[in-house]
Structures are given as structure tokens and as C-alpha cells.
């Protein structure tokens, strides 16, 4: 029986423990890498959504800029808000009635004098 085991190299229990520990470390590293990859995929999806939203917002803003710089928009603003007129037009600015009675300014209520800190403590500890 001893002759059969002499030809084969014997693996000691120390080497088996080292291999098991090495395998556990390798599996732990692979697990960490897979978790990192999962987080990166989630971040990539979130960024893709954000990019799509920003592209839509950019397109909307470009449309607004194009509309605001158009001749019709400039004419409407100048005529309605800018107070500008075309040749041959008459500018009419409505003025409010001058006989209005101004609102009376309310008199402020007299403020109560706040007691000092020592008076508050005196009242709390000994009553008033």
C-alpha cells in the first residue's frame, strides 16, 4: 500500500488551505468587480436619461430663441411693450384719474415692552 502512494506527490494540508484562501479572495474580487459594473450600468442609464432630457430642453430653448428673434416677435414687443410706433401711427398712453384719494397709512399699534430676561426668570421661579 505504501508503494502506491510513493510515486504520487502528496499535497499537504497547508497547500490546500492556501488554495482555498486564494480561491475565496479571487471570488471576493470578482464579486466586487461585478457590483462595480452593475453600478456603472445604472449610472450610465441615468446619464442617458439626463442627456435625453437636456437635448429636449436645448431644442425647446433654440425654438424659443428663433421665435423671439423673428421679425414678428420683435415688432410685437416694440409695439406693445417698448412703446415704439411705426411712421404714421399715434402713440396713446392711458393715464389714470388724478382725483383718486390716496390710501390712508395705518398707524402702527403700540408695541408692548418686552420684559428683560431676569424679570422672566424671576416670574418663572417665584411667581409674579
> Using one digit for the tens of pLDDT, what is the confidence trace for 66-94?
888 888 888 888 888 888 888 888 887 77
What's the pLDDT at 90? 83
Cell numbers 408695541: residue: 111
Residues sharing a CB contact under 8 Å with residue 67, sequence separation 6 or more, in sequence order = 73
Residue 125, Cα to own-chain centre: how many angstroms?
Answer: 50
> Using one digit for the tens of pLDDT, what is the confidence trace for 90-108?
887 778 777 767 777 877 7
The half-sphere exposure of 127 on its side-chain side, counting CA atoms within 13 A, is: 0
pTM of the model as a whole: 0.44
Amino acid at each position: 500500500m505504501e508503494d502506491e502512494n510513493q510515486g504520487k506527490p502528496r499535497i499537504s494540508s497547508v497547500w490546500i488551505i492556501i488554495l482555498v484562501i486564494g480561491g475565496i479572495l479571487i471570488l471576493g474580487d470578482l464579486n466586487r468587480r461585478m457590483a462595480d459594473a452593475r453600478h456603472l450600468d445604472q449610472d450610465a442609464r441615468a446619464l442617458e436619461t439626463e442627456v435625453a432630457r437636456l437635448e429636449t430642453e436645448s431644442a425647446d430653448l433654440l425654438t424659443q430663441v428663433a421665435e423671439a428673434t423673428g421679425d414678428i416677435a420683435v415688432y410685437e414687443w416694440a409695439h406693445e411693450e417698448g412703446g415704439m410706433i411705426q411712421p404714421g401711427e399715434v402713440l396713446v398712453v392711458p393715464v389714470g384719474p388724478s382725483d383718486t384719494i390716496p390710501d390712508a397709512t395705518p398707524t402702527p399699534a403700540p408695541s408692548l415692552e418686552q420684559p428683560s430676561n431676569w424679570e422672566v426668570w424671576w416670574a418663572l421661579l417665584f411667581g409674579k
